[in-house]
Chains A and B, each alone.
Chain A
């Protein structure tokens, strides 16, 4: 390790270039990785952050809440068993601000006021505490559209007006910000276009992962993670970017491997001499591997620092969400694959004939 570090410091000009390249690549990797989770979050955060463990949907809905419907009696049965359960409707719409004509996309989450799936507000009051007939809790991204507490927003299709009772943090679904409304408001919304409508929840959110005994009864208990994966576009986007991330990780690591191999090819005589004077293959391999380890660790740390400081300075609307465990997994994989790629050099060194040291100085 000591001698590898000495070599790097001695030849720093040569190593700075490769470090720059690796830092750039790893920065891109971490950035894309953050973007992948950010986009994923924009699709699913309202479900991810929901204080529920699984959802009961009808078994023909293919685990998609928006196309499911669950008879209301199920809710009563669950509650009778002492299970924490709450109805949930998800409906994509748009709203306009009072006195404006611009349509803003929204996904309504209709919940029972005061239930465990109603999120904590970061500003204003909850649905139950609001005195308005039709209160709404908006994701705080709507603030960027100029909406503030106490404003009214209108559902243009039905003319129903909501009063902004509070703001919540990090609640998105299918790339739109979420607005939480009461089941009563939701029923009125539906009845405006269909007077015969009677509320039947899309799904029932449940706390605890027990087997509820509804399987095979036309109903299905789906864990939260599964519901997230089934949200349209979640898997497609997530998988694509995740794949790009891993391809880049491998490319970066292979670049170190090749760089290191080229250096090794240039040092055949030097390694021959070292072997002639009695240095073991394992000692030389140790030097080469430490060198790669130092280069890759350095690039990993710098790019982590860069990415996290940039994330702090990023505009709020940017769908960027890099979690420390994710970042650590990606960088650790990078370092590991780099070390593996240095095996190419190790194999080469083990084949060098120490006879190279003796005789004419070709090279």
Chain B
């Protein structure tokens, strides 16, 4: 299998805006390899979420190609996309977005594929994320940090190729936000996955391998802060 777990090639996406159209992504390309953690920064409204949605097969680009695990999935059917999202992608959202009536163990079990039960042990994952004691807790009984870590665990439950995180620190304070990103990084390294995180939180950028800035519909590599 290719080491380029996620490849986006010349992605264009524009929205209708009144009479004309607004270009959000203008021939954007990105490749993320095995064990690599990329961050995308940019001001609000610059197209970060749009980009992530295209990468996550939630939004079809106007043109360009999406490859996951080396396979072109641009033209996959709706149900194929659903299966790819379930098996090859792991999502971490802005707010935890857990199911309110399920305990942590059930949050993971409800999406875990049967074939993954041996490969990814819920108990191990929870202890790596230091939330063993949240196993039987409902989201309402957990702190914001614990909830976000549960969401991180959920993203890894089917041993996906690619992790996509949409502003994972947005609902957390600085310290917990940093911890959450650290944990994503640790899991990505340990499990040798590719990860893309969209964020406007520049304080966590030292934790990632590459940083891109999205601006004017373009994706520009940026020198990492702290790296001189």
A interface residue numbers (CB < 8 A to B): 3, 6-7, 9-11, 269-270, 273-280, 353-355, 357-361
Which interface class (under 10, 10 to 19, 20 to 34, 35 or more) fits B?
Answer: 20 to 34
* Residues of chain B contacted by A273 (CB below 8 angstroms): 93, 97, 99
Q: Contact: A357 with B85, CB < 8 Å?
A: no
Q: Are B85 and A6 in contact (CB under 8 A)?
A: no
Residue contact B85 to A276, C-beta cutoff 8 Å: yes
A72 to chain B, nearest CB (A): 77
Q: Which of B53, B87, B89, B171 counts the most A-chain CB atoms under 10 A from its CB?
A: B53
Supposing A276-B85, A278-B83 touch, asked if A359 and B111 sit within 8 A by C-beta, the answer is no
For residue B49, CB closer than 8 A to chain A, the reply is: yes
Contact of B93 among A7, A278, A279, A358 (CB under 8 A): A358
Contact call B87/A278, Cβ cutoff below 8 A: yes
Within 8 Å by CB of B100, from A9, A10, A354, lies: A10
B69 within 8 A of A: no
**Extra 12 A-B pairs, beta carbons < 8 Å, given A9-B101, A10-B100, A354-B85:** A7-B101, A10-B138, A11-B101, A270-B99, A270-B100, A275-B82, A278-B84, A280-B79, A357-B97, A358-B93, A359-B94, A360-B94
Task: Check if A359 sits within 8 Å of B49, measured CB to CB.
Answer: yes
**Pick the contact of A6 from B95, B102, B154, B166 — CB < 8 Å?**
B102
Taken together as a complex, chains A and B put the C-alpha atoms of A270 and B93 apart, in Å, by: 12
CB of A281 to closest CB in B, whole Å: 8
Taken residue by residue from 116 to 135, chain B's Cβ proximity to chain A (1 for < 8 Å, 0 otherwise) reads as 00000000000000000000
Chain B, Cβ-Cβ closest to A272:
B97
Contact partner of A358 among B49, B86, B102, CB < 8 A?
Answer: B49
Q: How many A-B residue pairs have CB under 8 A?
A: 75
Task: Give every chain A residue within 8 A of B155 (Cβ-Cβ).
Answer: 277
- The 3 A-B pairs at the shortest CB distance, nearest first, are namely A278-B86, A10-B101, A359-B49
The CA of A184 and the CA of B139, in the complex, are separated in Å by 85
Q: Judge whether B1 is part of the interface by a CB distance below 8 angstroms.
A: no
Known A3-B110, A358-B166, A359-B49; contact A277-B95, beta-carbon cutoff 8 A:
no
Closest Cβ of chain A to B139, distance in Å, is 10
- Min CB distance, A274 to chain B, in Å? 7
User: In the complex, how many angstroms separate the beta carbon of A10 from the nearest chain B beta carbon?
Assistant: 3
From residue B109, how far is it (CB to closest CB) to chain A in Å? 9
Interface string of B152-176 (1 = CB under 8 A from A): 0011001000000010000100000
Contacts of B106 in A (CB 8 A): 3, 6
CB contacts (< 8 Å) of A269 on chain B: these are: 97
B59 at the A interface (CB under 8 A): yes
Of the candidates A10, A280, A353, the one whose C-beta lies within 8 Å of that of B82 is: A280
Contacting residues, chain A, for B111 (C-beta < 8 A): 277-279
Instruction: State which of A7, A274, A354 has its C-beta within 8 Å of the C-beta of B58.
Output: A354
Give complex CA distance A359, B52 in Å.
9
Q: Are B102 and A3 in contact (CB under 8 A)?
A: yes
Minimum C-beta distance from B52 to chain A (A): 6
Q: How far is the CA of A238 from the CA of B126 in the complex (A)?
A: 63
Q: Are B58 and A277 in touch, CB under 8 angstroms? A: no
- Given A275-B82, A278-B82: A6 and B101 interface contact (C-beta under 8 Å): yes
B37 at the interface (CB under 8 A from A): no
Q: How far is the CA of A359 from the CA of B93 in the complex (A)?
A: 8
Minimal beta-carbon separation of B180 from chain A (angstroms): 16
